[in-house]
């Protein structure tokens, strides 16, 4: 039933982008750069270049009392030299105070707070994970001003081109710099780092992992349109490409405006991001009352994601027809996971527990 729903939408396949369907891993790896080029040039824009120099300055540290002594806390300034200019932004890092290698989250957050209403830090620590985080607005503002923060360094008064970075690409760049920091930490399990975010920052998390193969997984929480929800098949109350461009065109490259009102005609689909992440892992969280994000199309995003994983001989999205939009069940047995809950647009404890369950597998 569910696969038939997907077939009726005539969803394009990333495996067909090269003009001849990729039937082997080698053929897919050969066309993967074309898929990435399509997503960057059509939707998000090219990310800024890697910094010429990067430095991590610890500005605050608590190795004694944080989380009742269960964790160590670091606040740092990530200082980058880019285009010959210095740019910096703050980040925090909390990890368990015990021996071992810890699976770690890079949380792109709406606020710098630790803990935060979207990030139950002590609960994450109690479950054996570490967590680095930063506030997206500390990188560049969430508006059409391309003169501040990272945007100001990248553009330096120059006009944006059709393929230039939107704000999502800039926030993704910052998440990659946090990954640079984590590569210096002995306690980090470097094979198990997951980038995560909610809403617009869930879109950012998917793009980050699609571009940076050091991330073992991406978690997208209620990201919806232009993130973890298919373009095709939208109904009443679902956000469209036109809706998002009218309000937030600065998140994307200029070229994305070409798809205003053309959700059912895009040559790409959002699950092309999960194709780019494969054979690494993707986890999606969705909420019953978050109609704007299109929970049904978030579920179908996961279904459509399976084909590239299967090419690698791995499980993609494991589900039964009866699991369709059934709240409270973790569908985490494959390399594409999905957690659907009651409630609204929010990054809640239930979402974190679904994600942590996924990362343990």
pLDDT at 352: 98
Looking at domain 2-360, its CATH architecture is 3-Layer(aba) Sandwich (3.40)
Burial class of residue 157 in the structure, from the number of CB atoms within 10 Å of its CB (0-12 exposed, 13-18 middle, 19+ buried): exposed
Q: What is the pLDDT of residues 290-330, one digit of tens each?
A: 999 999 999 999 999 999 999 999 999 999 999 999 999 99
Q: Is the pLDDT of residue 267 over 90?
A: yes
pTM above 0.95, yes or no: yes
Q: Is the pLDDT of residue 174 over 90?
A: yes
Grade residue 189 by pLDDT with cuts at 50, 70 and 90: very high
Q: For the chain, what percent of residues have pLDDT higher than 90?
A: 99
Average pLDDT over residues 333-347: 98
**Among candidates 334, 340, 321, which has minimal Cα distance to 6?**
321
| Tokens linked to 207 | 């793009």
**Among candidates 82, 329, 356, 68, which has minimal Cα distance to 219?**
356
pLDDT at 348: 97
CA–CA distance from 312 to each of 12, 124, 209, 302 (Å)?
19, 31, 18, 16
**Among candidates 168, 70, 80, 149, which has minimal Cα distance to 115?**
70
Q: Is the pLDDT of residue 100 over 90?
A: yes
Q: Is the pLDDT of residue 334 over 90?
A: yes
CB–CB of 302/233 below 8 Å? no
CB–CB of 104/131 below 8 Å? yes
CB–CB of 143/116 below 8 Å? no
Average pLDDT over residues 282-291: 98
| Catalytic residue check, 260 | no
Q: What is the DSSP pairing of strand 336-341 with strand 330-331?
A: antiparallel
Q: What is the pLDDT of residues 205-220, one digit of tens each?
A: 999 999 999 999 999 9
Q: What is the pLDDT of residues 106-161, one digit of tens each?
A: 999 999 999 999 999 999 999 999 999 999 999 999 999 999 999 999 999 899 99
pLDDT at 3: 87
H-run or E-run covering 124: helix 121-126
| Catalytic residue check, 345 | yes
Of 133, 141, 164, 199, catalytic: 199
Strand partners, 80: 54, 87
Q: What is the pLDDT of residues 6-19, one digit of tens each?
A: 999 999 999 999 99
CA–CA distance from 222 to each of 67, 185, 196, 289, 348 (Å)?
28, 31, 11, 11, 11
Q: Report the chain's mean pLDDT, rounded to a whole number.
A: 97
Q: What is the pLDDT of residues 27-75, one digit of tens each?
A: 999 999 999 999 999 999 999 999 999 999 999 999 999 999 999 999 9
**Among candidates 335, 334, 264, which has minimal Cα distance to 12?**
264
Average pLDDT over residues 255-284: 98
């Amino acid at each position: 039933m569910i696969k038939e729903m997907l077939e009726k939408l005539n969803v394009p396949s990333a495996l067909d982008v090269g003009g001849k369907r990729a039937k082997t891993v080698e053929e897919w790896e050969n066309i993967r750069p074309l898929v990435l080029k399509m997503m960057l040039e059509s939707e998000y824009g090219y990310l800024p270049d890697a910094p010429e120099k990067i430095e991590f300055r610890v500005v605050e540290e608590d190795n004694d009392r944080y989380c009742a002594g269960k964790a160590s806390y670091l606040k740092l300034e990530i200082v980058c030299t880019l285009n010959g200019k210095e740019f910096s932004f703050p980040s925090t890092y909390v990890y368990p105070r015990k021996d071992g290698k810890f699976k770690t989250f890079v949380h792109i957050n709406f606020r710098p707070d630790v803990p935060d209403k979207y990030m139950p830090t002590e609960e994450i620590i109690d479950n054996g994970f570490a967590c680095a985080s930063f506030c997206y607005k500390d990188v560049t503002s969430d508006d059409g001003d391309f003169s501040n923060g990272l945007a100001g360094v990248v553009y330096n008064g120059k006009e944006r081109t059709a393929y230039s970075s939107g704000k999502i690409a800039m926030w993704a760049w910052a998440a990659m710099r946090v990954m640079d920091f984590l590569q210096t930490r002995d306690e980090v399990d470097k094979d198990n780092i997951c980038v995560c975010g909610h809403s617009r920052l869930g879109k950012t998390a998917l793009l980050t992992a699609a571009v940076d193969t050091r991330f073992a997984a991406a978690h997208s929480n209620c990201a919806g349109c232009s993130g973890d929800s298919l373009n095709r098949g939208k109904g009443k109350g679902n956000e469209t490409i036109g809706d998002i461009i009218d309000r937030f065109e600065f998140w994307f490259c200029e070229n994305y405006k070409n798809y205003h009102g053309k959700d059912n005609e895009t040559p790409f689909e959002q699950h092309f991001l999960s194709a780019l992440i494969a054979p690494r892992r993707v986890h999606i969280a969705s909420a019953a009352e978050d109609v704007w994000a299109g929970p049904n199309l978030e579920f179908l995003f996961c279904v459509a994601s399976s084909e590239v994983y299967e090419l690698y001989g791995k499980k993609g999205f494991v589900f039964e027809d009866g699991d369709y939009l059934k709240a409270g069940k973790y569908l985490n047995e494959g390399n594409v996971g999905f957690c659907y809950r009651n409630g609204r647009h929010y990054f809640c404890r239930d979402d974190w527990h679904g994600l942590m369950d996924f990362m343990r597998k």
